[in-house]
Amino acid sequence: MKTTKTLFFLAALCLAVSCKKHLREPGYTGWSAYAGGKEGNRYSSNEQITLKNVCQLKVAWTYSTGDKDSANRSQDQCNPIMVDGILYGASPKLKLFALNAATGEQKWLFDPASLDTSKKSDPMAYYKICRGVVYWEDKNGNNKRIFYSVGSKTYAIDADKGEPIKDFGKGGYIDLTENLGRKVSSYVSGTTPGVIYKDLLITGARVDESEDAAPGHIRAYDVMTGKLKWIFHTIPQPGEFGYKTWPDSNAWKHLGAANNWSGMALDEKRGIVYVPTGSIGGDFYGAHRKGAGLFANCLLALDAATGKYIWHYQVVHHDLWDRDLPANPTW
């Protein structure tokens, strides 16, 4: 009897230890993704800098790409990341750089303008907003790459060499104006970076806010090849959930936006990506888009592996005030 009780006690103890280990919170000591981590919580558990010693901080190093605009109109919204002691970020002209985080020494610099020899290129592409970058490596720590957007191009850059990975997409990048289901006349641009789930790069885009806005689909691409793996239509198409909420059965053919420009968050354990969206194109006029306007102004929960709908919460029905969800969620 004692033996049975002892075995039962040991089994219960092992289970408790196992559960405690399993439920242990991550350390949050790094900053390996936009907003601190895929959870989007902008939190660091580091304790070297405190309320008592913050006043003693001094400049350790500075770095500049020399991109300041002569008219003093420069802006830099990039939230850099740090992986294995290397800081990755983008400059006002969207040059991608890698620095030794301890010293500020430049490891490499990628200038997208050096690849664009077309006279038809957008002269303002290099001043469009890039709020951050995405890092990925395979399970063996190889094939390290940085994903970041310059206008409608989302590049895959070798994290060690600072060069485009030629066998990714169209010679090193994917074109966000493609795979939208129709031709678009207004711009499509990457701004806030997406998230990585396993071998998928899940991303949104910034689009116009006028009535001719491009579709705001949420898309996932293979991180190795750049191939489109899944797509979620934020203006539902025939047969999709939410389609019947639109009085105009052809809304998906001519309306746009309902896009994710503000970032997203990932519950990696459950495989759920949380995606906030903006309003339907024609932000302040709604006569041409009757109905609640799904999935505009929503927080969407999607299966990160497939893009399938899980749930949504619409913050504003039939938005007439441009009440976009302006930041990535946290969980």
Residues that are catalytic: 322
The conformation of residue 11, written as its DSSP 8-state character, comes to H
3 state DSSP class of 276 = strand
Q: For the stretch 297-311, what's the b/e string if a residue is b when 16 or more beta carbons lie within 10 angstroms of its beta carbon?
A: bbbbbbbbbebebee
Q: Tell me the one-letter amino acid at 170.
A: K
- Do you know the residue count of the chain? 331
List CB contacts of 290: < 8 A, sequence separation 6 or more: 247, 248, 318
**Does residue 151 contact residue 189 with C-beta atoms inside 8 Å?**
yes
DSSP calls for 69-114 = -TTS--------EEETTEEEEE-TT--EEEEETTT--EEEEE-GGG
List, as one string, the DSSP characters of 200-266: EEEE--EE--STTPPB--EEEEETTT--EEEEE-SSPPTTSTTGGG-SSTTHHHH--B----S--EE
Strand partners, 302: 273, 309
Dist CA 142 CA 162 (whole Å) = 15
Question: If you search the block for the tokens 């991303």, which residue do you land on?
Answer: 203
Largest CA-CA distance found in the chain, in angstroms, rounded: 87
Q: What is the dihedral of CA 314, 315, 317, 320, to 10 degrees?
A: -140
